[in-house]
Amino acid sequence: MAHRDSGPPSTAPDEKSVLLGFLNYLRDAITAKVSGAPEPQARTAGVPSGTNLLGLAKHLAHVERYYFFGDRITSLRRTMRPTTKDTVESILTDYRQTITRANELVESCPDLTRPLRAGGPSLRWILVHLIEETARHAGHADILREHLDGTTGR
C-alpha cells in the first residue's frame, strides 16, 4: 500500500490498510501544517505550555521511532522542543524518513495481534495509539498555524 499525500483515508477491506490509511492521512495533515511555516514563528510557543509547530512534528517522529523501533525517549518534554539547529525542513525530513521506515515495517508484519518486541503492545494497539496521538497533535497544529499566519484548511 503506497503512502498518499492527499485524499481521505483508505476504505480498503483489510484492517491494516484502513489503520495505516488513517495514520498516513493524519501524518499528511501534520506535514502540511508545518510545511512553509515561517521562521522563527514555527518554533515559537503558541500557548503557555510551550507547544509549537516544529516541536509537534519532532515529537511525533520520536514517538513513532519509540513504538515501531524501540528507540529510547528520555524526556517527552525534550522531544517537543526544537533545537537551534532544527529547521522546518530538517524536522520534516526526519519525520518523513521515520514515516517511510515505519510504513515499511508495518507492511512487513502479517499479523496485527503480535507485538513488535517481546512484552510490547500489539501492532494493532500501536497503530490505534499513533492515530490518536497524531490526530490530537494535528488539531494542535491547525490552531497554531492559523494563529501564526492565518493558514487554514488541510
- Domain contains 39: yes
- Domain contains 21: yes
pLDDT at residue 77, as a whole number: 83
7 or 116: which leads in pLDDT: 116
Question: For residue 3, is pLDDT > 60?
Answer: no
C-alpha cell at 154: 488541510
- Domain contains 137: yes
Cβ–Cβ < 8 Å for 79, 62: yes
CATH number at residue 132: 1.20.120.450
| pTM score | 0.92
- Domain contains 76: yes
- Domain contains 5: no
- Number of domains making up the chain: 1
1 or 123: which leads in pLDDT: 123
- Domain contains 141: yes
| Spatial separation of the C-alpha atoms in residues 24 and 4, rounded to whole Å | 7
96 or 150: which leads in pLDDT: 96
- Domain contains 154: no
Contacts of 152 (CB under 8 A, 6+ apart): 142, 145, 146
- Domain contains 112: yes
What's the domain range around 19?
15-149
Contacts of 124 (CB under 8 A, 6+ apart): 15, 19, 112, 113
